[in-house]
A = this chain, B = another copy of it.
Amino acid sequence: MLDAEAALAVAEARAGLIPPDAAKTIADCCDADRFDPEGIGREGRAAGNPVVPLVRSLTAAVPGEAARHVHKGATSQDIVDTAAMLVARRVLGLILIEIDGVAGACARLADTHRATIMAGRTLLQQALPITFGLKAAGWLVAVLEARRRLLTVRESGLAAQLGGAAGTLASLGPDGLRVLSEFAQELGLAEPVVPWHTARLRIAELGSFLALAAGVLNKLALDIILLAQTEIAEVTEPSDGGSSTLPHKRNPVLATTTVACARRVPSLAQTLQAAMAQEHERAAGAWHAEWETLSDALALTGGAAAATREALEGLQVHPERMRANLDATESLLLAERVTTIVAGRLGRLEAHELVEAAARRAAAGGRSFRDELLAEPALREVLSRGEIDAALDPAQYLGSAEAFVDRALDLYRREVPA
């Protein structure tokens, strides 16, 4: 808020509205260490916002004639909204550092594990073989999508706010637009077409993009938690989350932290979106509801990104467990492949029925799926033993997995500077 007050004085001096010396004096006083945030917060309750006591303190702190020019032409919301943009810019920078780390870790995993075969799982059932590299490539592309939104919003979605008491800049007389322009430039924020005191798309979009980023991180963390299950054990988190009573456990504490943070962001984004319904030229409550909500959304997204990064950068991957889990279903996973081959000879429906029946008999116990296939006369008519063996080799049934990994890595290299 003090940065906004300082920039306002500077802008007004440039526009010739106040003496340059006064602007300099005001700007020099805009030093957070000189002020009492708790006291300002307490007094702000009665005033309805913290700018009233802040301006009072600032005016008292500015020596001489310059004090007259403090906060000239601005309304409280000009300062709070501009400050929110400055805070968002700083925090987005921190979040993006973590997101870049997450993307980098995903890229390394995708590259390293492009040939690490594992089970692809749909509805948490083993479906078809994939590679861990493909899974990481999917994470990577999702992270890059979120990254792009956060970059966009940081670079062009943050605008200065300056409208004065009712959005006309009336008390700046004919110089309003000039001051607005200088003010935005001084702060490195976009200059809005009109004041946006009750046009809150900017805030709600920022919240929504944070929710999208949190959603991407939540998905990654959920996959880590599921892969780290005792019975699956395909990955282990780097840090050993000790439990208070169970010495042997390897809790996925970082992924859990990610989920804990990320789950909360969509509801906060919802609050911001719903708060767009603001009355006339300044809202009675909906605007005020944005303040902590946006701060929380920024902090939680950052927390989720940092924990995910830490989890991924030190992730222990266990290719042998991946293979063992895949083999445990004794090729049942490749039923689709057999179906596809048979479908080319008998039609899809009949192929589906025959293979499904064999799979069911195998799953019910007794013989392996391979043996069940070999024992089905209708299948043996169209399929040789060699074809069956080839069909049941997962390494030969990865389709475009590696090509997808390459596409993801290409995108990463294009979008994230080394």
Contact = CB atoms under 8 A, between A and B. Distances in A.
A407 B195 CA distance: 11
Contacts of A418: none
A173 B232 CA distance: 29
B245 A164 contact: yes
A329 B204 contact: no
A293 interface: yes
Interface stretch (A92-100, A236-244, A378-386): A236-244
A212 B200 CA distance: 9
Interface residues of A, number: 170
Most B Cβ at <10 Å: residue of A129, A209, A280? A280
A149 interface: yes
A219 interface: yes
B281 A130 contact: yes
Interface in A253-297: 253, 255-271, 273-289, 292-293
A249 interface: yes
Most B Cβ at <10 Å: residue of A123, A202, A265? A123
Contacts of A169: 399-400
Given A141-B194, A218-B277, A284-B255, A228 B344 contact: no
A166 interface: yes
A302 interface: no
Most B Cβ at <10 Å: residue of A221, A244, A281? A244
A186 interface: no
Copies of this chain, whole number? 4
A173 B218 CA distance: 32
Contact of A275 (B202, B229, B263): B263
Contact of A284 (B123, B137, B286): B123
A127 B246 contact: yes
Contact of A278 (B70, B219, B252): B219
B212 A121 contact: no
Contact of A125 (B251, B278, B325, B360): B251
B70 A348 contact: yes
Given A141-B199, A248-B360, 17 more contacts: A46-B239, A48-B241, A120-B281, A121-B230, A121-B282, A122-B166, A123-B252, A123-B282, A139-B199, A141-B194, A168-B397, A173-B399, A201-B216, A248-B355, A248-B362, A264-B292, A266-B269
Contact of A168 (B73, B168, B343, B398): B398
A385 to B, nearest CB: 20
Contacts of A241: 46-48, 123
Q: For the complex, would chain A's binding face be called helix, strand, loop or mixed by DSSP majority? A: helix
A55 interface: yes
Interface string A348-361: 11001001110110
Contact of A274 (B215, B288, B325): B215
B243 A279 contact: no
Interface string A188-217: 000011111111111011001101101110
Given A67-B347, A201-B215, A127 B282 contact: yes
A75 B363 CA distance: 22
Interface string A96-128: 000000000000000000000001111111111
A368 interface: no
B134 A168 contact: yes
A32 interface: no
A126 B280 CA distance: 10
Interface stretch (A8-16, A34-42, A83-91, A331-339): A331-339
Contacts of A231: 126, 229, 231-232, 325, 328
